[in-house]
Amino acid sequence: MLKLRVSDIKQFVYCPRILYFTYVLPVDKKVTRKMTYGQERHVELDCLEKRRKLKRYNLAEGERKFHTHLYSPRLGLEGKLDLHIICGQEFFPVEFKNTLKGPGLNHKYQLTAYAMLLEDVYRRPVRYGFIYLIPTGTIHELEITPNMRQHVKEIMTKIRCMVKGQSMPGTAIRKQRCVDCEYRKFCGDVI
């Protein structure tokens, strides 16, 4: 079984063709200014987050763990989670996102994939997770539903089928995503 990364789930929801350029026909993508800036903000945020109260997450108390590498052989999935909070018997994943637009579907399924990894690795239930929007400092709570878990599994199956069949998927549904995409020069059929 092809081992996938949690970021693959996020990318596939954004545009399936990105996964084609990752696994079937690997290319050197350009590192955008937005990506570098996002990494710098993550470092700043780690320092701030350590001093903040968990009340922001509607949690009374708990332990914070940063940048945990998670791997599930059963799911064939791995990833490095920005933060998770351990509160009694429960685990809550937190993802930091550098976007002004609010959490996208790709971020929600990425968080779901992390929730599934946490459950598999630590054998603890994960009912909710959080998406922290860096520019506004707002925290969005997300329920991890059975349908969302099922959808993540279906995405993983689609990625593995695409890689096995070496078939190039269609372009992103929202064409504005192509405008500053780091893979744009490899996509001959987008304008």
Q: Please give the Cα distance from 110 to 42 (Å, whole number).
A: 17
Give the closest residue to 129 by CA, choosing from 153, 101, 103.
Answer: 103
Considering only 6, 10, 17, 119, the residue that binds ligand SF4 (CB under 6 A) is 17
171 binds ligand SF4 (CB under 6 A): yes
CA torsion angle for 119, 124, 129, 132 (degrees, to 10)? -90
Binding letters toward ligand SF4, positions 121-160, x by CB under 6 A: ----------------------------------------
Contacts of 30 (CB under 8 A, 6+ apart): 182
**Should residue 177 be labelled a site residue for ligand SF4 when binding is judged by CB under 6 A?**
yes
From the list 78-86, 102-110, 120-128, 182-190, the region that binds ligand SF4 by CB under 6 A is: 182-190
Give the DSSP letter of residue 184. Answer: G
Please, what is the Cα angle at 10 between 4 and 13, to 5 degrees? 110
Does 19 bind ligand SF4 (CB under 6 A)? Our answer is no
By CB under 6 A, residue 7 contacts ligand SF4: no
DSSP helix/strand/coil, 167 = coil
Q: Which of 15, 70, 111, 142 binds ligand SF4 (CB under 6 A)?
A: 15
Residues within the interface to ligand SF4 (CB under 6 A): 15, 17-18, 171-172, 177-178, 181, 183-184, 187, 190
